[in-house]
């Protein structure tokens, strides 16, 4: 009996210890369908911060468990799983793919919707589909990835800005850039002290980029959405143990193509043949390749580290990055340091959600002297870089080209920019009315920049120019407040739901500019007085989303916008939209068609606005004050003078009306997905910068609402999972856009009125493009070149198109346009076990450039214009030997060249390591190439030219990159 009592006592002592024992669970997580392991599954013990993630093989180890602990497993694209721990040592857990049709969440203005419920034309690119390789800005990550979006880099400098056009833009003289919204904050796309404003956001912090294209999707942003909206969502932390990620790369860049100009020997032969004795006497004995002297092979590095994690209620993510990239133009350099922090908290049983985000960047640019690019083509190659005394060789002629090496080494141009961008957003789901949510979002975007530099004392330019040094500063503040209510209710009677959103938006912009330049006169310095400007936008908006029987979705929005940039009577305008989606696959007549996974028809209409035309107060009377060097003296006192500025008090909003019809589809269990969209955009009251009447006293030009345009297009996108097995996966995808645009109205009663645009180098005030009714905006307006029987252009001879026996401006005609008829992108992703290979291609057809390099440098006067100096020419002069100096030659259609192309943007091969270096870390090593292949008949160094006028652009380099990505 005593023995039994001792045993019972021992059991009672052990029992509480075992209840509190901390155990370890090992397991594997599998896809329930394929039975393949799932890497990266988040596993969290409910109510704690104890958690882990599965490795590459789906394995996990979780410590410090107690019996009856509840494990929560989350994985993108799969249903959430809860698992109760009962004391076992090993377990296999399966997760089921979420088979509800297209449950992806799409970010829209002031909210999100399921992709299957989206009624507008919306495209989202996520991290897995971003352009691979070294990019430093968000625009480069989606280049060629979205139908209807054309992105053209401004040049090949590191951090170079890009021109982004969504469905061709809508304005003639105004801003055609889309609205950028970063974590709920609409930001200005202007540039302060840096190359590219989007380069201030670390690309490694971006989770997704969503493009809103038609007015039914963009009208919720009203006045700023005529050119589409790009919504950038940054990465947030996920619940579980802390994760650390490092990503870095080293890149090598080299020039891909040079301009064909005469060598030293070719120039000597040309001058000895066509030049006079004075010019022949100027020839040197060198064979200097000036392009080789200014370009270099460049190295770049990029390093980023992030950490993230959290509990059920609070998650966090923080990151830091540093980029240092040399340009292929000597002395060119771009450096950037970035930080980001994000905290998301859920409180009161998830009734209150507070999110805080902050991103900072500090950029420094060393701008090499870009005029050296043109000088490297035009400077005499028979001369040495240096004189015998070590000084730079220069011609003693003010109009002569400058020594390109001297331009780079003797000029110093810098830009710095600091940016802080962030927001605090609170969402409160009412306890007594949980279907109603109140949201307050306060955002800011502060930027300060400085541009400074000049020419050294050893530069000839220093002594021949009054303003040899400069220093300018710019500060901008963008403050935002959004206050809105959101109501969502599932309604059984219609087997659907209703979602209503209504609110108020306020955004204020302040700008301060200051600076000046030194003057090479003893004791004299010019300082531009500081200027402070600003404006604000106020808006009221509402949206309703009505889902009937999970088949029909109706979205309607209205936004009323006001801007301080217009006169009071024109400040406010209304911007409505409506769209309907029909989920055809949910109808009974398709329910047994297994090959159709999803099928949705979309129809949309809406009106959006534009008030951003560059000038802040185009419709308000303002005065310009004189600087210190232009004061008026009365007696011994100097007075600041002021003069009135031109304005148009009747200026009002541009308005763009858009119609869209689209079809989204998925076939064979969504292994093939795609969309087709047809759109038409009609813009009226276009704000154009046009000549004033002769009797107008303020200015020669001013802004007026005079224009109308029509843009039409067809967009197609397709992706197919060709192979999907245990070891092999192969996906191909692509998009294509067909587009057409024309001006449909300018000044009533003046059908031949046109606006000259497209300034070129060469001649005096020559402009080669024109805006006129019935033609594409900025179409080329040129003379028709005459040719001989061999097809060679005849020097100085042009076609008399109107038959009046003489060549006048009336003989100019419209010929081709800079906009492409078709542009496209396609990509492939191939993986085999741990290896993967990705390619991205992009191209266009039907776009033409004016080749200003040949028109300016491809004729004899470029070499033999004076007896005091010699220049150099492109090899074009050997074919044509043009010598005619009239403006007709510069404006000849001979220089309009087909710029269609196909380019391999990126090729990446990578290997994925599991248990990297014996640890639990996963790693990825990659080798990438950019701009590897360019197929084109275009003669210039690159067919992609903003605006269609090719004049010594900064060459895009060919780049190779070695990268490492490690997850701990």
With 0-12 / 13-18 / 19 or more C-beta atoms within 10 angstroms meaning exposed / middle / buried, residue 927 is middle
Collapse the DSSP code of 3 into the 3-class scheme (helix H, G, I; strand E, B; otherwise coil) and give the result: helix
The per-residue pLDDT for 849 is 98
Say if residue 474's pLDDT is above 80. Answer: yes
The per-residue pLDDT for 819 is 96
The CA–CA distances, whole Å, from 555 to 246, 546, 771 equal 42, 6, 37
Nearest-angstrom CA–CA distance, 757 and 147: 28
List, for residues 492-514, the tens digit of each pLDDT value. 888 899 999 999 999 999 999 88
Topology alike, domains 19-95 and 105-234: no
* CA dihedral over 935, 936, 937, 943, signed as positive or negative: negative
**Architecture label for domain 19-95:** Sandwich (2.60)
The per-residue pLDDT for 189 is 62
The overall average pLDDT reported for the chain is 88
List, for residues 518-549, the tens digit of each pLDDT value. 655 554 455 556 788 888 999 999 999 999 99
Q: Where are the beta strands (DSSP E) in 492-616?
A: 496-519, 525-548, 552-563, 572-583, 596-610
The per-residue pLDDT for 50 is 85
Nearest-angstrom CA–CA distance, 950 and 940: 8
**Segment (H or E) for 741:** strand 728-745
Q: Which of 24-28, 636-640, 722-726, 919-923 has the lowest mean pLDDT?
A: 636-640
Closest CA to 163 of 842, 941, 946: 946
Mean pLDDT of 140-153: 90
- Domain layout of the chain by residue ranges: 19-95, 105-234
The CA–CA distances, whole Å, from 859 to 345, 856, 872, 875 equal 68, 7, 10, 9
What confidence category does residue 18 fall into, taking pLDDT thresholds of 50, 70 and 90?
very low
With 0-12 / 13-18 / 19 or more C-beta atoms within 10 angstroms meaning exposed / middle / buried, residue 423 is buried
* 300 contacts: CB under 8 Å, gap ≥ 6: 134, 158, 250, 251, 252, 253, 323, 324, 325, 326
Say if residue 12's pLDDT is above 80. Answer: no
Say if residue 517's pLDDT is above 90. Answer: no
What confidence category does residue 457 fall into, taking pLDDT thresholds of 50, 70 and 90?
low
Give residue 925's Cα distance to chain centre. 27
The per-residue pLDDT for 650 is 86
Q: Which of 1-15, 89-103, 173-187, 439-453 has the lowest mean pLDDT?
A: 1-15
Mean pLDDT of 809-831: 96
The CA–CA distances, whole Å, from 674 to 212, 715, 720 equal 17, 11, 9
State percent of the chain over pLDDT 90: 61
What confidence category does residue 34 fall into, taking pLDDT thresholds of 50, 70 and 90?
low
Structural contact between residues 780 and 893, judged by C-beta atoms closer than 8 angstroms:
yes
Higher per-residue pLDDT: 956 or 616:
956
List, for residues 159-195, the tens digit of each pLDDT value. 888 888 999 888 887 788 888 899 988 886 655 545 5
User: Under CATH, which number does the domain 105-234 receive?
Assistant: 2.170.130.10
What confidence category does residue 464 fall into, taking pLDDT thresholds of 50, 70 and 90?
low
List, for residues 249-281, the tens digit of each pLDDT value. 999 999 999 999 999 999 999 999 999 999 999
Mean pLDDT of 142-152: 91
């Amino acid at each position: 009996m005593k023995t039994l009592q001792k045993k019972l006592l021992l059991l009672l002592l052990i029992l509480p210890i075992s209840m509190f024992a901390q155990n370890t669970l090992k397991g594997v997580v599998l896809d329930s369908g394929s039975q393949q392991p799932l890497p990266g599954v988040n596993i969290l013990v409910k109510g704690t911060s104890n958690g882990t993630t599965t490795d590459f093989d789906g394995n996990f180890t979780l410590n410090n468990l107690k019996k009856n602990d509840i494990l929560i497993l989350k994985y993108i694209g799969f249903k959430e799983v809860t698992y109760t721990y009962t004391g076992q040592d090993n377990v296999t857990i399966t997760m089921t793919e979420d088979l509800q049709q297209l449950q992806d969440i799409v970010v829209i203005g002031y909210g999100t919707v399921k992709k299957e419920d989206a009624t507008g034309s919306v495209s989202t690119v996520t991290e897995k589909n971003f352009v691979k390789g070294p990019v430093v800005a968000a625009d480069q990550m989606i280049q060629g990835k979205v139908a209807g979006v054309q992105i053209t880099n401004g040049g090949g400098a590191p951090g170079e800005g890009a021109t982004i056009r969504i469905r061709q833009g809508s304005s003639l003289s105004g801003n055609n850039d889309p609205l950028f919204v970063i974590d709920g904050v609409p930001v200005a796309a202007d540039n302060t002290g840096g190359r590219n404003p989007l380069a201030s956001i670390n690309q490694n912090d971006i989770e997704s980029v969503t493009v809103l294209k038609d007015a039914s999707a963009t009208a919720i942003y009203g006045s700023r959405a005529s050119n589409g909206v790009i919504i950038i969502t940054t990465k947030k932390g996920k619940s579980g143990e802390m994760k650390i990620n490092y990503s870095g790369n080293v890149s090598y860049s080299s020039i891909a193509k040079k301009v064909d100009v005469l060598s030293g020997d070719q120039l000597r032969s040309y001058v000895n043949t066509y030049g006079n004795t004075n010019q022949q006497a100027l020839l040197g004995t060198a064979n200097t390749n000036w392009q080789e002297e200014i370009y270099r092979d460049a190295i770049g590095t990029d390093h980023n580290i992030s950490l993230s994690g959290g509990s059920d209620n609070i998650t966090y993510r923080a990151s830091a990055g540093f980029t240092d990239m040399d340009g292929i133009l000597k002395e060119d350099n771009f450096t950037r340091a970035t930080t980001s922090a994000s905290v998301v908290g859920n409180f009161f049983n998830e009734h209150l959600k507070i999110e805080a985000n902050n991103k900072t960047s500090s950029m420094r640019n060393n701008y090499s002297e870009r005029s050296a690019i043109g000088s490297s083509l035009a400077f005499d190659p028979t001369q040495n870089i240096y004189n015998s005394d070590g000084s730079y060789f220069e011609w003693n002629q003010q109009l002569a080209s400058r020594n390109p090496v001297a331009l780079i080494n003797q000029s110093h141009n810098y830009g710095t920019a600091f940016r802080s961008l962030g927001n605090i957003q609170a969402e409160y789901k009412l306890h007594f009315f949980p279907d109603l949510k109140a949201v307050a979002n306060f955002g800011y975007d502060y930027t300060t920049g400085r541009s400074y530099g000049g020419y050294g004392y050893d530069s000839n330019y220093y002594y021949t120019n009054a303003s040899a040094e400069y220093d300018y500063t710019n500060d901008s503040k963008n403050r935002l407040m959004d206050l809105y209510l959101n109501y969502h209710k599932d309604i059984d009677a219609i087997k659907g739901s209703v979602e209503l959103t209504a609110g108020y938006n306020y955004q204020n912009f302040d700008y301060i500019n200051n600076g000046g330049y030194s003057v090479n006169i003893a004791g004299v310095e010019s300082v531009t007085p500081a200027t402070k400007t600003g404006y604000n936008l106020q808006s009221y908006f509402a949206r309703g989303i009505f889902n009937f029987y999970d088949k029909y979705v109706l979205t309607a929005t209205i936004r009323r916008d006001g801007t301080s940039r217009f006169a009071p009577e024109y400040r406010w305008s209304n911007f409505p939209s409506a769209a309907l989606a029909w989920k055809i696959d949910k109808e009974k007549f398709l329910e047994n068609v297994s090959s159709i996974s999803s099928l949705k028809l979309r129809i949309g209409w809406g009106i959006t606005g534009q008030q951003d035309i560059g000038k802040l107060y185009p419709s308000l009377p303002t005065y310009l004050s004189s600087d210190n060097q232009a004061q008026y003296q009365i007696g011994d006192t100097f007075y600041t003078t002021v003069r009135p500025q031109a304005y148009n008090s009747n200026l009002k909003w541009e308005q763009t009306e858009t119609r869209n019809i689209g079809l989204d589809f998925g076939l064979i269990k969504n292994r093939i997905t795609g969309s087709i969209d047809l759109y038409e955009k009609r813009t009226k009251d276009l704000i154009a910068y046009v000549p004033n009447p002769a009797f107008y006293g303020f200015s020669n030009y001013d802004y007026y609402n005079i224009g109308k345009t029509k843009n039409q297009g067809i967009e197609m996108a397709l992706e197919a999972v060709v192979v999907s097995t245990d070891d092999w996966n192969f996906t191909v995808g692509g998009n294509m856009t067909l587009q057409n645009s024309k001006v449909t109205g300018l000044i009533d009663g003046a059908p031949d009125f046109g606006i000259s645009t497209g300034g070129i180098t060469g001649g005096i005030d020559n402009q080669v493009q024109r805006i006129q009714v019935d033609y594409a905006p900025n179409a080329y307006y040129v003379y028709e070149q005459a040719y001989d029987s061999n097809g060679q252009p005849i020097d100085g001879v042009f076609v008399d198109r109107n038959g009046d026996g003489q060549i006048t401006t009336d003989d100019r005609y419209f010929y081709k346009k800079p906009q492409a008829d078709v542009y496209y992108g396609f990509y492939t992703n191939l993986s085999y076990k741990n290896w993967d290979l990705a390619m991205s291609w992009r191209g266009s057809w039907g776009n033409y450039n004016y080749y200003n390099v040949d028109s300016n440098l491809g004729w004899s006067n470029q070499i033999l214009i004076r007896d005091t100096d010699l220049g150099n020419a492109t090899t074009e002069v050997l074919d044509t030997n043009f010598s005619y100096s009239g403006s007709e030659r510069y404006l000849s259609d001979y220089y309009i060249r087909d710029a269609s192309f196909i380019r391999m943007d990126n090729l990446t091969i990578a290997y994925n390591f599991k248990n990297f270096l014996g640890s639990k870390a996963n790693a990825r090593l990659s080798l990438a190439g950019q701009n590897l292949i360019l197929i084109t008949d275009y003669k210039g160094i690159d067919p992609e030219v903003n605006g269609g006028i090719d004049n010594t652009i900064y060459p895009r380099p060919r780049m190779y990159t070695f990268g490492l990505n490690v997850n701990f």
